Amino acid sequence: MKKTRKLLLVALLMFVFAAATGGAYAYWAGSVNPPANLTDNVTINIGEGKETNTEWQINDPVFTNDVLVPADRIAQSKSDGDYAGKNITDNVIADYDVYWKTSPDGGTAAGATASLKVEYSDVKIAGEITYAGLVNVQIHNGSDYVTLDSSTGYTFTPKIVADDTNQFDVKIKVTLTEPANKPAYEAIKGQPITLNIKFSLTLD
């Protein structure tokens, strides 16, 4: 911004009187009034930042070797035939390494913080919702697994940091409630469980 200086020139009146009798003299300045108040209208143009595009970098857990059965039913579950060599388990943990990255050509937001929320929805067994209530979803809160509420989700503390070199660890555990009757068992045995996991950010 161009700097403008306003100078106030004050004229001083000097009166010199020389007496005939000697070298005595006197002088004084004329009255000096303060300048009027100055209001300077300053205009500064602010530049625009580049758009900072951000993206998720999340690993995709693979469960091709895991077969989920109800709690305490591992010993009573088949481990031969189609299940030979499979990991028969009563819980499956989806361990996500979550990074919040900024685009290298979109400015920088390194160090920005946001609240990370995790939600799940659309649970199905064999593509149907009939027995979806048998599926239990939990999330690790840093010290233990807690129920992941399908209506509210879970918001983590501490917050996630943009371009942090350390991943934000999100663990989702899925268990299966034992069917109450044989028709329910027949409907779900050997079938895939599907659900949607949603990651979202609320910026500070």
Q: What is the pLDDT of residues 160-176, one digit of tens each?
A: 998 899 999 999 999 99
Flag residues of the chain having pLDDT under 70. Answer: 1-36, 39, 47, 49, 104-108
Amino acid letter for position 12: L
Report how far residue 179's alpha carbon sits from residue 176's, in angstroms, rounded to the nearest whole number: 9
CATH fold label, 54-203 = Immunoglobulin-like (2.60.40)
What's the angle, vertex CA 56, arms to CA 55 and CA 61, rounded to 5? 155
Q: What is the pTM of this model?
A: 0.75
Boundaries of every domain in the chain: 54-203
Is 78:135 a contact under the CB 8 Å cutoff?
no
Cβ neighbourhood burial of 132 (10 Å; 0-12, 13-18, 19+): middle
Please name the residues in contact with 191: beta carbons below 8 A apart, sequence gap of 6 or more: 125, 126
- pLDDT digit string (tens) for 34-64? 566 776 777 777 767 677 788 889 999 999 9
